[in-house]
Structure 1
Amino acid sequence: MESSPYLSLHTFLTSAEISVSPLCTLTPIPRMGTGLVAVADIPPHTELFSVPKTAVLTTKTCGLKELLPKEEWEGLNGGWGRLILCLMYEQGRGEGSPWKGYLDILPTNFDTPMFWSEVELSELKGTSIFDKIGLAEATNEYTTRLLPIIQAHPEVFPPAMFDSCFSLEWFHTQGSRILSRSFGVEGVKDEDDSDDDELEDEEGDGGEDVDKVGMVPMADMLNARWGEENARLFYTETHLSMITTQPIASGAQIYNTYAHPPNSDLLRRYGHTDVIPPSLVGNEEDEVELRCDTLVAVAEELLEKKAASTEGAPAWDKKAWDMEGRVEFWLEEGGDDIIPLQITFPLPPPLLAFLTLLVLPTATYESAKSKGKLPRPKITLEGVEVGRKVLGMRLAEYPTILENDLQLLASPSLPERLNAAIVVRAGEKNVLHECLKLLEVEETRLKAEEAAGGPPEKKSSGSSKRKNVGGAGAGGSRKKIR
């Protein structure tokens, strides 16, 4: 590690009292940047490196807070502004910063969509990532909150270093470093405690307390790949340690975990995708987001048409059906206005739960609401029809079809960004197609039961319990995007 390009990092590690095992070394990895590789066979439960918490770059370990008026620092509360400004400040200090050797080896170029051209971004149209890039919002954050502070304190942010440390371009660079490389750093736990001791990289959308997030030298050098993680970051009261979780052969790369996000999140945060061979279309966590308002609109149209086509039936009473109240009930019980859709059998619980609520007869809905409990998910022919139409509408939002994407992915010469975009959109389309197949299976079953006079009787399970479908399992733990 002492040789270039890691000489400055080695100097920093020594000064920061970060110990690194001789069993591993940093090395360039094709198409992955830098990675940590075993130089000998490593057994599980081996400490690879240990980082004092004082060496972690956070809003608390950086001295910037003490150099700014309290009202200005407090004005940066919310979002990533404080931590970004700390990284910009430390970079501007040059040799005076204790993190110089670390900052010198951090990437300055990224393949995340934040840095894509309009032509490249057009390949993501229709995907869940398309509206989450946030370039305009980030630029506004810099212009309205950080830039005034930078300009007001030339003694802290020297104007001569503006272009090399404090510009909008550097704001985006430091923000991307945090998005892709930061960790939660608070807590007093040990490796022997529960799984909650494991530190995973932060979501990076500003939902966390930024003062509890930091840049952990060495930990952010590990790459990650689906299903191949063999080390985890643990922490004690004073240190953070990377510990192997399984045997690692000499010459093998050491992988941390990204907590298995879908490819849309991998691309948005890290600039790459994971494809599990032999598939060309993505990983097992790929998902599509369905808007609740779309599901509501389709359900209303279906119910109205059904009433109009049923001889002798009264017109559908939209007011009495109270769709707005049903949605409010869903949200109050922990649901979200975005339904995550993944390939599961039976149908994805959040979708099934929301469809059940939308088509539930008025009396049954009012009874459930009075009890303050969402109804038991139950697929019906009406729910199948709503789901099928919404999934078809969602597929129509993509300008390409899955078959064409698969043909493109079979080409060995695709530019990396184009390949990543196609992997994301193909993975999402695959989810939609598979869920449509599940709906067809359910429709066939329901029609057969209807023709036979109803579903077969089921014995009561007695003590069986069901989870609240409106909680985290139904999307309650997800952030809203509206």
Structure 2
Amino acid sequence: MGRRKSHGSSKLKQVLSNNHALHAKKKEIAALCEKLFYLSSNPAYTNQLWENYLEISDVLEKVKKLEEMKTESSSRSQWIGQFTNWLNENGAKIDGVSITEFPGYDLGLRAERDFTENQLILEIPRNLIFSLDTAAPELASLQNDPLIQHMPQVALAIALLIERHKGNTKWKPYLDILPTNYSTVLYMTAADMIELKGSPTLEAALKQCRNIARQYSYFSRVFQNSDTPVSALLGSVFTFERYCWAVSTVMTRQNLIPSEDGARMVHALIPMWDICNYEEGRITTDFNGTWNKCECYSLRNFKRGEQIFISYGSRPNSDFFVHSGFVYMDNKEDAFKLRLGISKADSLQKERTELLERLGLPAVGEFLLKPGTEPISDSLLAFLRVFSMRKAELTHWLDSDKVLDLKHVDCALGTVVEENVRKFLLTRLKLLIANYPTTLSEDLELLKTSLPPIRKQTVQLRVTEKKILQGALEYVEQWIKS
């Protein structure tokens, strides 16, 4: 009898000890989330992004250890049969294509017959499209939450987590075939991130990581301190790594489709269509309101056995890198984002700002350098001309009714202004190229070696940026000689 009592007592002590440890762990995570929210929200850090990123990363490492996440890395290929059956059973038309692995791409769509340009490839009905209209009705309990209300991508990420952690969900075949991790900036370490030194994309990457850290710490508090169906579902399973997964899934796959009533556009994930990898070209996907389905047409001719590609739209590599986790090396729509501004200390700031407003240009903003034979955009040229003018020229153009001529290369301007524009560009371009720790030729040599995927991606980005800068520099040098 005595022994049984002792055994029961030790079991009770063990339970109490476990509960105490769990409570202590939750308390520690909550304290770290408070610190994280402060670090990622305080505007004082916006001018110290790198130091802020390192502090946030340090706190997140502690959070991840406490959350004890085990990397979920099951092979997506094992779920292909279950997924295609689910699509067919629910009205999708996917004849003539299959899902397969392609070197360097993970999964992609394979043509099982020849397709000609503009031929219909996929039809995905609305009931299979993952959106706030078709999934996670529990999210209605958070409809007044400011992040859920005003940030549809965030709401869609939370909806993904809700469906993933339900006991029974119709979306399981789709959720199973999604990647278990991504190559977005959220999966980069500080050692990966430092590879972007000198690149203007570094700032965008750091800000993205900061924003997601803030969102995670915010929702962690919401789910622990509120009594809603969402908190009941996610309170015990919401972790930073799971939130990164959900956010990356949305960032790399989201699309806009009309709502059921056609009154607004909603963010959505389109199963099967989102397995298509990117190729430059026109967008060949549309939503057919009459038949209530997404239709994807062939971008070009595809032969049987080839991988089928689609275009995600025209975007520079910096956007693809930060939000989609890849770099497209031959991107004709690529651009180098050059940040320029009129100083508040400039004695002619008022006149310059007024003239820029008439040109529809900001006094501080990003201007694009493009690849190809015309790297200097009309907007950049006009800004630099206003930036280089003296008082007499500013007065002249403020009184002129031909102010838009400033955007044209052959606009008649004083020699001094044009010389100043060229000298400024020459100096700035040389400085931007020198900001990178490596040269273009060194990066090209690196790409010939075997690199981890994320490291390769950062080197590819540097190469595309440096090629634009080099091309612009050669253009300006030629311009000066002419």
In the superposition, the TM-score normalised over structure 1's length comes to 0.73
Matched, 1:148 2:186: no
CA distance in 2, matches of 1:180, 1:68: 27
Equivalent position amino acid for 2:369 in 1: L
Equivalent position amino acid for 2:288 in 1: T
- Residue 271 of structure 1 and its aligned partner are, at CA, apart by 2.1
Contact 1:45–1:245 (CA under 8 A) maintained in structure 2: yes
Contact 1:225–1:257 (CA under 8 A) maintained in structure 2: yes
- Residue 70 of structure 1 and its aligned partner are, at CA, apart by 4.3
Are residues 16 and 369 of structure 1, via their aligned partners in 2, closer, same or farther at CA, if it must alter by over 3 Å?
Answer: farther
Contact 2:321–2:327 (CA under 8 A) maintained in structure 1: yes
Contact 2:143–2:149 (CA under 8 A) maintained in structure 1: no
SS in structure 1 at match of 2:337: strand
Give the number of aligned pairs: 387
Identity rate, percent: 22
Bigger share in helix? 2
Matched, 1:406 2:444: yes
Equivalent position amino acid for 2:367 in 1: I
- Residue 362 of structure 1 and its aligned partner are, at CA, apart by 2.4
Equivalent position amino acid for 1:40 in 2: R
Are residues 243 and 36 of structure 1, via their aligned partners in 2, closer, same or farther at CA, if it must alter by over 3 Å?
Answer: same
Equivalent position amino acid for 1:19 in 2: K
- Residue 235 of structure 1 and its aligned partner are, at CA, apart by 1.5
CA distance in 2, matches of 1:25, 1:401: 42
- The residue aligned with 1:177 is 249
CA distance in 1, matches of 2:139, 2:315: 37
CA distance in 1, matches of 2:427, 2:141: 55
SS in structure 2 at match of 1:241: strand
Matched, 1:269 2:323: yes
Equivalent position amino acid for 1:68 in 2: S
2:286 corresponds to which of 234, 237, 242: 234
- Residue 218 of structure 1 and its aligned partner are, at CA, apart by 1.0
CA distance in 2, matches of 1:290, 1:45: 37
Contact 2:147–2:155 (CA under 8 A) maintained in structure 1: no
2:356 corresponds to which of 330, 343, 346: 330
SS in structure 1 at match of 2:236: helix
RMSD between aligned alpha carbons? 2.9
Matched, 1:30 2:67: no
- The residue aligned with 1:353 is 382
- Residue 140 of structure 1 and its aligned partner are, at CA, apart by 0.5
- The residue aligned with 2:367 is 339
CA distance in 1, matches of 2:298, 2:389: 51
SS in structure 2 at match of 1:107: coil
What CA deviation, in whole Å up to 9, does each residue of 1:215-253 have, x standing for no partner? Answer: 0111101011346x8x82122111111122432211011
Are residues 326 and 155 of structure 1, via their aligned partners in 2, closer, same or farther at CA, if it must alter by over 3 Å?
Answer: same
SS in structure 1 at match of 2:99: strand
Contact 1:94–1:100 (CA under 8 A) maintained in structure 2: no
- Residue 68 of structure 1 and its aligned partner are, at CA, apart by 0.3
- The residue aligned with 2:144 is 71
CA distance in 1, matches of 2:372, 2:361: 19
CA distance in 2, matches of 1:112, 1:375: 42
What CA deviation, in whole Å up to 9, does each residue of 1:90-136 have, x standing for no partner? Answer: 112142x2212111111121112221111111111122321112112
SS in structure 2 at match of 1:132: helix
SS in structure 2 at match of 1:139: helix
Mapping of 1:275-424 within 5 angstroms? 275-276=329-330, 283-293=331-341, 296=342, 319=347, 322-327=348-353, 329-331=355-357, 333-336=359-362, 337-346=365-374, 347-370=376-399, 373-377=403-407, 378=411, 380-409=418-447, 411-424=448-461
- Residue 329 of structure 1 and its aligned partner are, at CA, apart by 4.0
Equivalent position amino acid for 1:292 in 2: L
Structure 2: which 5+ runs fail to align? 1-76, 412-416
Equivalent position amino acid for 1:399 in 2: P
Are residues 222 and 66 of structure 1, via their aligned partners in 2, closer, same or farther at CA, if it must alter by over 3 Å?
Answer: closer
What CA deviation, in whole Å up to 9, does each residue of 1:174-212 have, x standing for no partner? Answer: 110111011111279xxxxxxxxxxxxxxxxxxxx9x62
- The residue aligned with 2:60 is none
CA distance in 2, matches of 1:268, 1:331: 30
In the superposition, the TM-score normalised over structure 2's length comes to 0.73
Mapping of 1:92-171 within 5 angstroms? 92-95=165-168, 97-133=169-205, 134-145=208-219, 147-149=221-223, 151-153=225-227, 155-158=229-232, 162-163=236-237, 166-171=238-243
Structure 1: which 5+ runs fail to align? 189-208, 277-282, 301-317, 446-482
Matched, 1:61 2:134: yes
- The residue aligned with 1:197 is none
- The residue aligned with 1:430 is 467
Equivalent position amino acid for 1:362 in 2: K
SS in structure 1 at match of 2:173: helix
Are residues 74 and 287 of structure 1, via their aligned partners in 2, closer, same or farther at CA, if it must alter by over 3 Å?
Answer: closer
Contact 2:141–2:228 (CA under 8 A) maintained in structure 1: no
What CA deviation, in whole Å up to 9, does each residue of 1:147-184 have, x standing for no partner? Answer: 40465246434468733xx3221111111011101111
What CA deviation, in whole Å up to 9, does each residue of 1:241-282 have, x standing for no partner? Answer: 112243221101110102243332222222222224xxxxxx
Contact 2:385–2:421 (CA under 8 A) maintained in structure 1: yes
CA distance in 1, matches of 2:378, 2:312: 24
Are residues 84 and 146 of structure 1, via their aligned partners in 2, closer, same or farther at CA, if it must alter by over 3 Å?
Answer: farther
Matched, 1:444 2:481: yes
- The residue aligned with 2:18 is none
Equivalent position amino acid for 1:365 in 2: L
